[in-house]
């Protein structure tokens, strides 16, 4: 929603899209709401048979005839031929976006969605595809179409983790969700209430050697030698009423509250950081009061059989916001969408994708430092991968994801023909960067010593369709991921593997090793560009005198993720209308930070429009040694950039963390969005276009690394630069209220290289100028669960503590 606020007053009415405005806020009309209702319902329980009668009747045919499309190409023809030959990926099979044959079929299906002449053709095709085509391929193609069709601005699908929760949570939780039965839950909960009322009042007993038992709500204890121990936990508190243990991992919070990994009724409110923007509204309370809500505590993956130190970062690598950001980046700039047709070249797609890889690696590196881990290990096809990974996930067809053992040898277990193709590409791109030019197959010479040539390098490394000589460069990226998953060129039925889909690959530590080798190509290219001189960096007449930064504090908070799509109970319809009467939520701890701000003091000799950039980076390595700026430039992450009109004299500018243009808060849940849509459809609510956060934003709560309780020393870098307008700014028509502006050419603040001035190597004798400022900062980590370590401070054991979201935050974080 923050994208929308700054732009509401200047939004223009676009009649063609069917919106009208009320008090400067766009409100959806009936036609828009009908389309939005369709999109929400068509992906409901997408792995189950379609139950909406009107869509079943609508989807009796698929329009394969050319006259129904604005464009008809080879991929659409091949898809039709595969359909007639019954050669499409079957329903229920694993779909991998980076499996060659899966990707080709998905591209054909996407084209049928994207090039449909009108809504009726699109809707009919989608309904047919929902019933007859592979579920994963269907959602992939539909997501791309909704994002990229110009006439779909403002329309949305639920977040990917709400459509397929199986890709984001462990198999234990998935199985509990899929077998949830409301009637059985009611009977069990009545029994457990009586049982636990007795249990919480009974004294603690001691048992003999190794006696183990489950005591209500899955709370497991082992007794022996007259003492009581909790499996795997570091400290113990005991009283005559109950016993209480401190978990060695903060995010197993439910054990500290005396809860188990079971379903609990939620009668208060859905947990998320921005819920107070909604649950104070009478309409929200009215529409949610009849929804039966249930939550279950859920953990991150553990090193159960593959012990390695990387598992301490599972709360970060498996964070839903972290993974969905990468997923949507690769939907916005999908490797098979050409830059000219979809306008992606306007956004400098190759450079932007490559810069995102660099920024994500920088952020991951800072999280590693919070745990005493150092540099991301180097990747090699010919050396062992020290850290194994077991995702502990299950696909919706019941098949578990494959795992990699510790000290895995990629070369030994692989397809040598495929490996040679991959390594040949890597040698080729390193060679052409060293040469400084590239000669295409038609004899054209490309100068690789120009800064703008980074776009060419980025396209090659992503392996997208805009890569020059795409027969050499387009498929290397896909082949690399297929090799990781032990998947052959022509294989159709594939074993589930996290490296084959964008929404799951960041869970694996090998992702960061491999993508570090991609980022190193970026730095190799930059090595050959001249260093910035003092004259280039200097902004005459502007001095950044001081920056005051507020306290930086991180903590673990709780959130409810909507996993209703895993329900398997009977769907209820009344007079043909679906009644959404139950919702399931995964309650999980995740990293967050206290809102912070910084205040700039800038002197200017004249009125001038500028861009102000802010970066965060480490100061010391894992051994406590200061990192030189020359080496450290790789590690800085850009956290904010914005335009500002300086006035002559002194300028005092305060910037808050919730003002950052590229970050977002928690998205409104699937359940809420559906209810808002239906209320508006019935004329009881004005549906605003900024009802949820844009899909393309980075999670605001992950801007800061976890830090240390005693304080982790870091540094921030600030710079003021002249405003240089994006090349396509004057042609933009997109509205920040409801669009990410993909392909508009105006997504970025200015036309300077991404990461400026850290994009090139640094000459420290030339680098420091008055319009820069370095600031030492300290990041503190507060233990949000501390109050539960002492039973005397928490007497409501066995029940969820709702003051966690209110009293505690008010007292300690002053939110």
Report pLDDT digits (tens) over 3-15. 333 323 333 333 2
Residue 96 sits in a domain whose CATH number is 1.20.1370.10
737 pLDDT tier (thresholds 50, 70, 90): low
Whether the Cβ atoms of residue 110 and residue 145 lie closer than 8 Å to each other: yes
* 598 & 516 share domain: no
Residue 705 burial by CB count (10 A; 0-12/13-18/19+): exposed, middle or buried? buried
- Host H or E run for residue 128: helix 119-132
* 344 & 422 share domain: yes
Q: Comparing 769 with 224, which gets the higher pLDDT?
A: 769
Share of the chain above pLDDT 70, in %: 85
Tell me if 11 is assigned to some domain: no
Mean pLDDT of 137-158: 94
Host domain of residue 744: 534-551+594-662+697-784
Tell the residue number behind the tokens 């934003």, with chain if given.
Answer: 697
Q: Comparing 140 with 405, which gets the higher pLDDT?
A: 140
CA distances to 149, 725, 752 from 730, rounded to whole Å, are 21, 9, 17
Q: Which of 157, 182, 206 is the last residue of a domain?
A: 157
Q: What is the pLDDT of residue 251?
A: 64
Whether the Cβ atoms of residue 100 and residue 418 lie closer than 8 Å to each other: no
Q: How many CB atoms lie within 10 A of CB 733?
A: 12
225, pLDDT greater than 50: no
Q: In what order do the strands lie in the sheet with 608-618?
A: 264-266, 292-297, 582-593, 552-562, 772-781, 712-722, 608-618, 637-646
Residue 86 burial by CB count (10 A; 0-12/13-18/19+): exposed, middle or buried? exposed
Q: What is the pLDDT of residue 241?
A: 38
Q: How far is residue 540 CA from its own chain's centroid?
A: 40
Query: Which region holds residue 765: left if phi is over 0, alpha if psi is between -120 and 50, else beta?
Result: alpha
Residue 634 sits in a domain whose CATH number is 2.60.40.1520
Q: What is the pLDDT of residue 211?
A: 32
* 522 & 601 share domain: no
Chain mean pLDDT for the chain: 85
Exposure string for 769-798, b = 16+ CB within 10 A, e = fewer: bbbbbeeebbbbbbebbebbbebeebeebb
SS3 state of residue 677: helix
Q: Comparing 39 with 307, which gets the higher pLDDT?
A: 39
Tell me if 201 is assigned to some domain: no
226, pLDDT greater than 60: no
Least confident of 448-462, 620-634, 650-664, 796-810: 796-810
Least confident of 151-165, 527-541, 734-748, 757-771: 734-748
Whether the Cβ atoms of residue 489 and residue 419 lie closer than 8 Å to each other: no
Q: Which of 157, 174, 203 is the last residue of a domain?
A: 157
Q: Cα(61)–Cα(127) distance, rounded to whole angstroms?
A: 9
* 406 & 329 share domain: yes
24 pLDDT tier (thresholds 50, 70, 90): low
Whether the Cβ atoms of residue 567 and residue 594 lie closer than 8 Å to each other: no
* 520 & 538 share domain: no
**What does the block give as tokens for 323?**
């993974």
Q: Comparing 229 with 762, which gets the higher pLDDT?
A: 762
Per-residue pLDDT of 157-201, as tens digits, reads 999 999 999 999 999 999 999 998 877 877 776 666 555 554 444
473, pLDDT greater than 80: no
Tell me if 477 is assigned to some domain: yes
* 468 & 541 share domain: no
Mean pLDDT of 266-284: 79
Number of compact structural domains in the chain: 3
Tell me if 139 is assigned to some domain: yes
Helical H runs in 276-406?
282-288, 314-317, 320-332, 339-342, 349-370
* 512 & 643 share domain: no
N residues, the chain: 815
Q: Cα(447)–Cα(508) distance, rounded to whole angstroms?
A: 37
Q: What is the pLDDT of residue 29?
A: 87
Mean pLDDT of 774-786: 92
Q: Cα(671)–Cα(291) distance, rounded to whole angstroms?
A: 9
C-alpha count within 13 angstroms, C-beta hemisphere, residue 47: 21
Cα dihedral across residues 166, 170, 171, 177: positive or negative: negative
Residue 649 burial by CB count (10 A; 0-12/13-18/19+): exposed, middle or buried? exposed
For 732, phi and psi rounded to 5 degrees? Answer: -70, 145
* 490 & 547 share domain: no
* 378 & 507 share domain: yes
794, pLDDT greater than 80: no
């Amino acid at each position: 929603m923050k994208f929308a606020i700054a732009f509401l007053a200047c939004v223009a009415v676009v009649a063609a899209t069917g919106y009208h405005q009320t008090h400067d806020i766009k409100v959806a009309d009936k036609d828009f709401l009908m389309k939005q209702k369709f999109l929400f319902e068509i992906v409901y329980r997408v792995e189950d048979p379609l139950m909406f009668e009107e869509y079943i009747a609508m989807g009796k045919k698929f329009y394969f005839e050319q006259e129904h499309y604005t464009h008809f190409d080879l991929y659409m023809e091949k898809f039709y031929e595969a359909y007639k030959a019954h050669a499409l990926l079957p329903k229920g099979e694993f779909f991998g976006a980076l499996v060659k044959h899966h990707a080709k079929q998905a591209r054909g299906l996407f084209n049928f969605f994207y090039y449909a002449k009108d809504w009726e053709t699109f809707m009919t095709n989608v309904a047919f595809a929902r019933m007859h085509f592979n579920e994963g391929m269907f959602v992939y193609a539909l997501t791309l179409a909704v994002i990229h069709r110009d006439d779909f601005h403002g329309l949305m699908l639920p977040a990917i983790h709400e459509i397929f929760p199986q890709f984001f949570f462990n198999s234990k939780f998935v199985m509990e969700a899929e077998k949830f039965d409301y009637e059985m839950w009611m009977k069990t909960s009545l029994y457990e209430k009586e049982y636990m009322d007795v249990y919480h009042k009974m004294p603690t007993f001691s048992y003999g050697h190794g006696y183990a038992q489950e005591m209500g709500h899955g709370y497991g204890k082992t007794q022996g030698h007259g003492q009581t121990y909790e499996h795997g936990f570091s400290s113990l508190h005991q009283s005559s009423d109950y016993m209480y243990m401190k978990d060695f991992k903060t995010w197993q919070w439910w054990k500290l509250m005396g809860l188990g990994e079971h379903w609990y009724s939620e009668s208060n409110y859905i947990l998320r950081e921005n819920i107070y923007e909604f649950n104070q509204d009478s309409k929200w309370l009215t529409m949610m009061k009849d929804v039966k809500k249930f939550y279950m505590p859920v953990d991150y993956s553990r090193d159960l059989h593959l012990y390695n130190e990387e598992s301490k970062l599972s709360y970060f690598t498996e964070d839903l916001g972290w993974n969905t950001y990468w997923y949507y980046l690769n939907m916005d700039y999908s490797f098979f969408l050409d830059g000219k047709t979809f306008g992606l070249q306007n956004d400098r797609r190759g450079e932007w994708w490559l810069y995102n890889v660099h920024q994500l690696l920088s952020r991951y590196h800072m999280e590693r430092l919070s745990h005493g881990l150092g540099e991301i290990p180097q990747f090699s096809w010919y050396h062992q991968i020290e850290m194994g990974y077991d995702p502990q996930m299950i696909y919706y067809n019941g098949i578990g994801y494959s795992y990699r053992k510790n000290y895995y040898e990629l070369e030994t277990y692989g397809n040598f023909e495929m490996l040679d193709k991959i390594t040949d590409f890597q040698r080729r791109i390193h060679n052409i960067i060293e040469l400084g030019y590239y000669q295409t197959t038609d004899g054209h010479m490309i100068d690789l010593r120009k800064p703008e040539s980074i776009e060419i390098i980025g396209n090659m490394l992503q392996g997208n369709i805009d890569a020059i000589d795409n027969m050499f460069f387009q498929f290397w990226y896909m082949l690399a991921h297929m090799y990781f998953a032990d998947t052959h060129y022509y294989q159709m039925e594939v074993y589930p593997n996290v490296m084959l889909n964008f929404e799951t690959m960041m869970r694996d530590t090998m992702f960061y090793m491999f993508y570090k080798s991609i980022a190193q190509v970026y730095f190799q290219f930059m090595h050959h560009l001249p260093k910035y001189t003092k004259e280039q960096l200097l902004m005459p007449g502007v001095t950044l005198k001081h920056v005051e930064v507020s306290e930086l504090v991180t903590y673990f908070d709780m959130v409810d993720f909507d996993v209703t799509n895993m329900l398997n109970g009977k769907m209820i319809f009344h007079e043909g209308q679906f009644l959404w009467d139950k919702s399931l939520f995964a309650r999980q701890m995740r990293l967050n930070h206290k809102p912070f701000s910084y205040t700039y003091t800038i002197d200017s000799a004249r009125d001038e429009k500028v861009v102000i950039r802010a970066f965060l980076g480490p100061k010391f390595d894992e051994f406590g040694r200061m990192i030189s700026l020359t080496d450290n430039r790789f590690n800085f992450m850009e956290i904010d950039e914005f335009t500002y009109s300086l006035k002559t004299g002194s300028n005092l500018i305060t910037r808050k963390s919730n003002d950052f243009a590229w970050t977002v808060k928690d998205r409104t849940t699937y359940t809420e969005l559906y209810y808002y849509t239906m209320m508006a459809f019935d004329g009881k609510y004005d549906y605003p276009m900024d009802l949820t956060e844009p899909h393309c934003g980075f999670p605001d709560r992950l801007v800061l690394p976890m830090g240390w309780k005693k304080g982790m020393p870091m540094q921030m870098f600030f710079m003021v630069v002249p405003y240089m307008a994006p090349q396509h700014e004057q042609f933009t028509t997109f509205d920040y209220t409801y669009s990410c502006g993909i392909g508009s050419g105006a997504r970025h603040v200015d036309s300077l290289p991404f990461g400026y001035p850290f994009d090139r190597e640094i000459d420290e004798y030339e680098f420091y100028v008055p319009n820069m400022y370095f600031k030492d900062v300290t990041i503190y980590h507060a233990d949000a669960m501390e109050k539960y370590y002492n039973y005397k401070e928490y007497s409501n054991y066995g029940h969820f503590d709702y003051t966690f979201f209110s009293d505690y935050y008010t007292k300690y974080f002053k939110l």
